[in-house]
């Protein structure tokens, strides 16, 4: 795991000063404190900062060049099954200097070509391959976008980097703000790919190869991976499905334990991280350390108690990192690490979790992606029900009932018991008759259309058409309602929110986070599972619950889905955030992004007046900090 960067200039006579690539690479030092390397020749330069995980010896140094001097690679990420390919290369006489996956990649590209190689490796990665003979630079990003790769084009140059901050040193000046993202951000709370919050900077689409001609700067892009459901044997009963699932989980977790340094585990107390810990432990010489994060105050609802039970059950030395619930703390360092704003208060505990974990291990496995892979979000249940009730659905006749239910008052998201059920039913009923893309977006919506217009004026919001496009493609591929939602999630919230924060917040601390439940073999199986194996009245992910019931107490396996509930609403009413509130209505939001000061103040006033607008306040606060830092 590393930070990589590079530049190609194709204007005649324009070369690159080694200090330029060095500056880019040094700006990524937090991603790779163990080693640094650059290659700079004429109009091409590449470099990397290394966090040494596989092959700690100098043989793992990058950039790495083939024996004949033709191919050079810089690689960020992990290839979990590279030894399979290595065995094939060894049999054909290839010699290796060390044991790193980068070296397998290098020789694999040289021997097989890039496309053939990509068909033979699994992992999370972003890398660049310089082919001197063909005068090509190829940029590649893994199929789910676990690892980032940013691009900046212009003035006869293409620069790439693991983080946007590196472009400030690419010789073309610091990227400015891209005001075009703000409307989308206010709608859903993140910056949808491929655009970014920065002008002229985009993200390479996951599962694609960008090939650049070194002499002309002409580009071609091609897809090398698109997730599709596995074809399951016909007639599998539930027990056979469980066995298949067990073997697959065992496989993907086991292969992601490949490491020359100790591996730790994020343990939330939920099903996904629990399953990873229980499956991984027998494969390791010692039970891995596990880490969870919670609140200091007694009586606060968090999952650390459940996490401690799970850790004890497998003998894992467990560390609970405690947050002080009385204060929001300083969000500026988090936003600086994220680079782009994300309106998700879960970044606060994740930041502390990464920090606390990095003090003990360099690698941690996380359950991220499990909900997308296995249909774990409750919205899959509601989405399935809505599709059945909507016109043309199997229960369309009962759909008219939902009109009455839609009139239920909008209770607070913090309601409990009957009120919470009424809130969910009412919210569900109000979405039944919406087009599916709008229904999907309604589950994330931070500011409604009117609020967005009030705050920002009329601005194009490209989210809905993009989501609809993914739905259309899923339908064209013959996917069912739940599979379509899984696909939409993977290309939206997972890609642009969950994976961004997992990468940026961990790498800011020099910690590698692995996501075994996003192993392509696991996701392909998850997509293929029948609907009843994904969603159920007694809790989604029934297969995972059955599997864990063999090892863990019922209290764990029967629990409902819980998010990490931060008291953001309370924080934004507290006197400790008074300065932040003041800044929101008169600071960078208004000055740099052109927000309407009265509209911002109106949101604040409504919140202080008792409306539960914690999410909206958090979204504005993060955007304000981002604008102050970047716009």
Partner 1 sequence: MTESRHHWAAPLRVCLLHNYRESEQISMKLYAERLGASLTEEGLTVRHLLPPTMLSSQGRSFWAGKKLDSYAGRFLYYPHAVRSMPPSDVYHIVDHGHAHLLRSLDPRRTVITCHDLMLLVLASGRLGRRLVSGVALEVFRQLAGTLRGAAAVIADSAQTRRDLVQFADVDPARIEVIFPGMNQPFARDPAARDEGRRRWGLEGCRVVLQVGNAFYKNLEGSLRIIARLRRRGVDVHFLRGGLRLTPEQRQLATGLGIADFVRDLGPLPDRELSMLYNAADVLLYPSLYEGFGWPPLEAMACGTPVVCSRAGSLAEVVGPAALTADPEDEERLADHVAAVLSDVGLAAGLREHGLRHAATFAWSRAAREVAGLYQRVRESA
Binding site for partner 1 (CB under 8 A): 81, 83-84, 87-88, 90-93, 120, 243, 246-248, 250-251, 254-255, 278, 282-286, 521, 550-551
What Cα–Cα distance (Å) separates residue 133 from each residue in 152, 157, 459, 509? 25, 20, 47, 38
User: For residues 548-567, b (16+ Cβ closer than 10 Å) or e, as one string?
Assistant: beebbeeebbeeeeeebebb
Q: How far is the CB of 60 from partner 1 (least distance, A)?
A: 19
For residue 449, the surrounding DSSP H or E stretch is helix 449-456
| Spatial contact of 533 and 236, defined as CB atoms under 8 Å apart | no
Torsion sign, CA atoms 508, 511, 514, 515: negative
User: 246 vs 606, which CB is nearer to partner 1?
Assistant: 246
User: 40 vs 85, which CB is nearer to partner 1?
Assistant: 85
Beta bridge partners, 154, equal 157
Beta bridge partners, 195, equal 202
| Spatial contact of 2 and 75, defined as CB atoms under 8 Å apart | yes
User: 215 vs 238, which CB is nearer to partner 1?
Assistant: 238
Compute the half-sphere exposure of residue 18: CA atoms within 13 Å on the CB side of its CA.
5
User: 253 vs 617, which CB is nearer to partner 1?
Assistant: 253
> What span, in angstroms and rounded, lies between the C-alpha atoms of 312 and 318?
8
Q: How far is the CB of 360 from partner 1 (least distance, A)?
A: 20
Nearest residue to 359 via CA among 414, 289, 284: 289
Q: How far is the CB of 518 from partner 1 (least distance, A)?
A: 17
Q: How far is the CB of 546 from partner 1 (least distance, A)?
A: 11
Beta bridge partners, 48, equal 4, 37
User: 136 vs 246, which CB is nearer to partner 1?
Assistant: 246
> What span, in angstroms and rounded, lies between the C-alpha atoms of 512 and 208?
23
User: 94 vs 453, which CB is nearer to partner 1?
Assistant: 94
Compute the half-sphere exposure of residue 449: CA atoms within 13 Å on the CB side of its CA.
9
User: 114 vs 588, which CB is nearer to partner 1?
Assistant: 114
Q: How many CB atoms lie within 10 A of CB 221?
A: 12
> What span, in angstroms and rounded, lies between the C-alpha atoms of 138 and 39?
16
User: 236 vs 336, which CB is nearer to partner 1?
Assistant: 236
Q: How far is the CB of 251 from partner 1 (least distance, A)?
A: 4
User: For residues 72-99, b (16+ Cβ closer than 10 Å) or e, as one string?
Assistant: bbbbbbbbbbbeebbeebeeeebeeebb
Q: How far is the CB of 318 from partner 1 (least distance, A)?
A: 19
Instruction: Give me the DSSP letters along 10-59.
Output: -STT----HHHHHHHHHTTGGG-BSEEEEEEETTEEEEEEE---S--SGG
User: 314 vs 621, which CB is nearer to partner 1?
Assistant: 314
| Spatial contact of 29 and 158, defined as CB atoms under 8 Å apart | no
Q: How far is the CB of 54 from partner 1 (least distance, A)?
A: 15
Q: How far is the CB of 249 from partner 1 (least distance, A)?
A: 9
Instruction: Give me the DSSP letters along 172-189.
Output: S----B-GGGHHHHHHHS
Q: How far is the CB of 129 from partner 1 (least distance, A)?
A: 23
Q: How far is the CB of 91 from partner 1 (least distance, A)?
A: 5
For residue 221, give the 3-state DSSP assignment.
strand
Token duo for residue 520 = 């392509």
User: 283 vs 562, which CB is nearer to partner 1?
Assistant: 283
User: 248 vs 591, which CB is nearer to partner 1?
Assistant: 248
User: 83 vs 593, which CB is nearer to partner 1?
Assistant: 83
Residue with structure tokens 């691009």?
151
Q: How far is the CB of 544 from partner 1 (least distance, A)?
A: 14
User: 278 vs 540, which CB is nearer to partner 1?
Assistant: 278
What Cα–Cα distance (Å) separates residue 606 from each residue in 222, 344, 578, 610? 48, 20, 15, 7
Q: How far is the CB of 551 from partner 1 (least distance, A)?
A: 8
Q: How far is the CB of 87 from partner 1 (least distance, A)?
A: 4
List strands edge to edge, sheet with 219-223.
64-65, 71-79, 123-131, 136-141, 208-213, 219-223
User: 254 vs 433, which CB is nearer to partner 1?
Assistant: 254
Cis preceding linkage at 553, omega within 30? no
Q: How far is the CB of 499 from partner 1 (least distance, A)?
A: 25
């Amino acid at each position: 795991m590393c930070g990589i960067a590079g530049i190609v200039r194709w204007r005649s006579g324009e070369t690159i000063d080694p200090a330029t690539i060095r500056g880019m690479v040094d700006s990524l030092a937090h991603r790779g404190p163990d080693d640094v390397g650059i290659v700079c020749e004429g109009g091409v330069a590449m470099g990397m900062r290394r966090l040494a995980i596989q092959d700690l010896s100098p043989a793992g140094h990058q950039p790495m060049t083939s024996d004949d001097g033709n191919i050079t690679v810089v690689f960020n990420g992990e290839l979990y099954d590279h030894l399979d390919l290595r065995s094939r290369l060894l049999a054909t006489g290839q010699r290796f200097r060390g044991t790193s996956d980068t070296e397998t990649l290098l020789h694999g590209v040289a021997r097989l070509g890039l496309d053939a190689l990509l068909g033979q490796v699994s992992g999370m990665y972003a890398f660049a391959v310089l082919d001197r003979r063909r005068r090509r630079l190829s940029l590649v990003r893994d199929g789910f976008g676990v690892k980032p790769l940013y691009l900046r084009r212009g003035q006869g140059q293409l620069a790439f980097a693991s983080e946007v901050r590196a472009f400030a040193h690419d010789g073309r000046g610091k990227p400015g703000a891209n005001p075009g993202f703000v409307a989308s951000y206010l709608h859903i709370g993140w910056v949808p790919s491929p655009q970014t919050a920065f002008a002229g900077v985009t993200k390479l689409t996951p599962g694609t190869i960008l090939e650049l001609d070194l002499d002309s700067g002409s580009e071609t892009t091609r897809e090398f991976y698109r997730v599709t459901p596995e074809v399951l044997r016909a007639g599998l009963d539930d027990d056979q499905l469980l066995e298949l699932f067990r073997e697959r989980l065992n496989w993907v977790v086991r292969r992601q334990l490949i490491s020359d340094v100790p591996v730790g585990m994020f343990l939330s107390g939920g099903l996904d991280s629990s399953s990873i810990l229980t499956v991984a432990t027998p494969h390791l010489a010692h039970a891995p350390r596990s880490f969870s994060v919670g609140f200091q105050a007694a009586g606060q609802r968090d999952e650390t108690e459940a996490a401690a039970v799970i850790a004890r059950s497998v003998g894992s030395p467990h560390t609970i990192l405690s947050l002080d619930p009385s204060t929001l703390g300083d969000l500026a360092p988090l936003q600086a690490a994220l680079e782009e704003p994300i309106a998700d208060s879960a970044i606060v505990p994740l930041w502390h979790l990464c920090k606390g974990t990095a003090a003990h291990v360099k690698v941690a496995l996380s359950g991220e992606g499990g909900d997308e892979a296995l249909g774990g979000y409750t919205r899959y249940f509601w989405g399935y029900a809505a599709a059945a009730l909507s016109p043309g659905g199997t229960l369309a006749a009962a759909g008219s009932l939902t009109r009455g239910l839609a009139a239920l008052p909008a209770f607070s998201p913090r309601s409990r018991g009957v009120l919470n059920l009424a809130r969910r039913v009412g919210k569900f009923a109000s979405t039944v008759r919406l087009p599916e893309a709008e229904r999907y977006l309604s589950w994330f919506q931070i500011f409604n259309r009117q609020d967005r217009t009030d705050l920002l004026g009329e601005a194009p919001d490209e989210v809905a058409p993009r989501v609809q496009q993914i739905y259309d493609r899923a339908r064209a591929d013959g996917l069912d309602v739940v599979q379509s939602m899984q696909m939409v999630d993977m290309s939206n919230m997972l890609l642009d929110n969950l994976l961004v924060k997992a990468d940026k917040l961990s790498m800011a601390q020099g910690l590698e986070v692995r996501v075994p439940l996003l192993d392509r073999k696991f996701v392909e199986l998850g997509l293929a599972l029948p609907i009843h194996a994904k969603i159920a009245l007694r809790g989604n992910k029934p297969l995972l619950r059955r599997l864990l019931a063999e090892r863990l107490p019922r209290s764990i396996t029967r629990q409902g889905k819980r998010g990490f509930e931060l008291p953001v609403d309370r924080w934004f009413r507290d006197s400790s955030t008074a300065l932040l509130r003041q800044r929101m209505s008169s600071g960078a939001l208004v000055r740099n992004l052109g927000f309407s000061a009265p509209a911002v103040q109106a949101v604040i006033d409504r919140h202080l007046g008792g409306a539960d607008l914690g999410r909206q306040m958090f979204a504005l606060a993060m955007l304000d900090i981002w604008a102050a830092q970047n716009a």
